[in-house]
Amino acid sequence: MAKGAGKISKPVTEEAGSPRRSPCPVSCALDLFGDRWTLLIIRDLFLGRSRFKDFTASPEGIPTNILSDRLERLLEAGIVQQIPVADGSKRMAYELTEKGSDLRRVLISMRNWGLKWEPGTRAGLDE
């Protein structure tokens, strides 16, 4: 076991301007996208969806108030950014930043696990 690996750390309440329960990287990642909806929004971005209406059309049926909250959280965390819609309207779309794009491997691992262990599942996200 690595030195200090068995120690329990004191909770970190504030680091780099954001509240954290712990310095654990898994805990910090879960604070950003460990709820029921956020990774599904990220999945949809990988699948080419980019507008608010696209996310609400996903089969999971995310409520609009929750979608707004999660998109704001992803913006604040630097995982997504807003861009103008290509049609020239005043509406905005969303795209993954480099930080967000780096989650692709996480989603692919989750997809592969689900395909292996959850009967009846099928994938829309390619490697």
**Would you say residue 54 lies in a domain?**
yes
CATH number for the domain spanning 60: value is 1.10.10.10
- The answer for residues whose C-beta is within 8 angstroms of residue 51's C-beta and 6 or more apart is 85, 91, 93, 94
Residue tagged 């009846």 (tokens) = 120
Write the pLDDT tens digit of every residue in 43-83. Answer: 999 999 999 999 999 999 999 999 999 999 999 999 999 99
Q: What angle do CA 59, 53, 111 make, to 5 degrees?
A: 40
Instruction: Name the band, by pLDDT with cuts 50, 70 and 90, for residue 19.
Output: confident
Strand partners, 93: 83
Q: What is the pTM of this model?
A: 0.81
Amino acid at 103: L
Domain count, the chain: 1
Domain range for 79 is 39-117
